[in-house]
Amino acid sequence: MYDHGPDLGRNDECWCGSGRKYKKCHSDFDERLQALHEAGELVPARELLKMSEDVAGVRRSAAVNVGALDYVASRIGPGVTTGDIDRWVHDYTVEHGATPAPLGYEGFPKSVCTSVDEVVCHGIPSDDELLREGDIVNVDCSTILDGYYSDSSRMFMIGEVTPEKEQLVRVTKEALEKGLEAVRPWGHLGDVGAAVHAHAKAHGYTVVREFGGHGIGLDFHEDPFVSFVTKPGTGEILVPGLMFTIEPMVNMGKARIDMNDPNGWTVRTHDRKPTAQWEVQIVVTEDGYELLSW
Ligand code: MF3
Ligand code: CO
């Protein structure tokens, strides 16, 4: 097969774990994948596809991830430090039997990413960083439960923010929603990025190119890379079972980013103008998608 994965006989047990015979299970599905590959399409390897047991595991992980973000939402405001947010996420996650995925990931020192104003992503929480009226902050939360990964992020506006920042936060969320609307089983991943980009661009914003969404489930970052500067009809086929995040970073100013912070993590806009990001995790289904974490 195209993915160098199992090539099964009709009466063999299917690769998907259903216990059924291949001919009664994924044989037609595999033929469709193989034909798409031969037609020149990018077809995700079957080992990336999540079957019902794995989806159920991710749902349990995502329930903790969403709960942690809801907990942050209920307490965040002026006078809170990003160090407080880190402790809330850490303690909530651990109390629910899970592990914060960022903690120790490639040396990341905290349990959550907190990115204020011109910080694009990967901001490191600190007790010295006080949130003040007018700030916008992305809280990016990721959870491991029983080996299953979930990942989502939200923007929070601290007190009254300027209309410009409010619009950036709102349009970025709308762009993500346009991306979700473009998810069609057997469609293309590039449709998603194109929809996100078009909406951001229509408001005069730019989209960060260097970072994007990613496959996820049994690992924090799996294939495919989910870019938000894509052309419709390009990229991987959205095969049912493909699980990934949609997480555009939208800049008020230029798209260029600055990755030179000495801490090795904090990414800023080059022009120091504000930036926003929302992130959801989905799995493609036979008739659309299931939202797992938001
Ligand atoms: N949560 C980020 C994402 O959406 C990844 C953060 S990596 C970390 O993919 F180490 F900074 F946590
Ligand atoms: Co992510």
| Dihedral, 191, 197, 199, 204 alpha carbons, nearest 10 | -160
Half-sphere exposure of 242 (CA within 13 A, CB side): 29
Determine the atom of ligand 1 nearest the C-alpha atom of 142: 1
Instruction: State if residue 119 touches ligand 1 by the CB under 6 angstroms criterion.
Output: no
Q: Which of 203, 174, 179 is nearest to 190 (CA)?
A: 179
pLDDT at 104: 98
Q: What is the pLDDT of residues 128-183, one digit of tens each?
A: 999 999 999 999 999 999 999 999 999 999 999 999 999 999 999 999 999 999 99
DSSP 8-class letter at 188: B
* pLDDT at site 200: 98
- Taking the centre of ligand 2 as the mean of its atom positions, its distance from the CA of residue 152, in whole angstroms, is 6
Q: Whose atoms come closest to the Cα of 264: which ligand?
A: 1
- Model pLDDT for residues 84-100, shown as the tens digit of each residue: 999 999 999 999 999 99
Q: What does the pLDDT read at residue 92? A: 99
Q: For domain 46-293, give the CATH number.
A: 3.90.230.10
Structure token digits, residue 118: 């011109």
CA of residue 213 to ligand 2 center, whole Å: 6
Residues 6 or more apart whose Cβ sits within 8 Å of residue 235: 42, 188, 189, 190, 191, 193, 224, 227
C-beta 251 within 6 A of ligand 1: no
pLDDT-based confidence at residue 232 (cuts at 50, 70, 90): very high
pLDDT digits (tens, 9 = 90+) for 236-267: 999 999 999 999 999 999 999 999 999 999 99
Domain residue ranges in the chain: 1-40, 46-293
CB of 247 within 6 A of ligand 1: the answer is: yes
Q: Give the chain's mean pLDDT.
A: 98
Distance 10 CA to ligand 2 centre (A): 38
pTM metric for this prediction: 0.98
pLDDT of residue 197: 98
Nearest to 196 by CA among 127, 132, 267, 245: 245
The predicted structure's pLDDT at residue 111 = 99
Residue entry with tokens 């939208």: 250
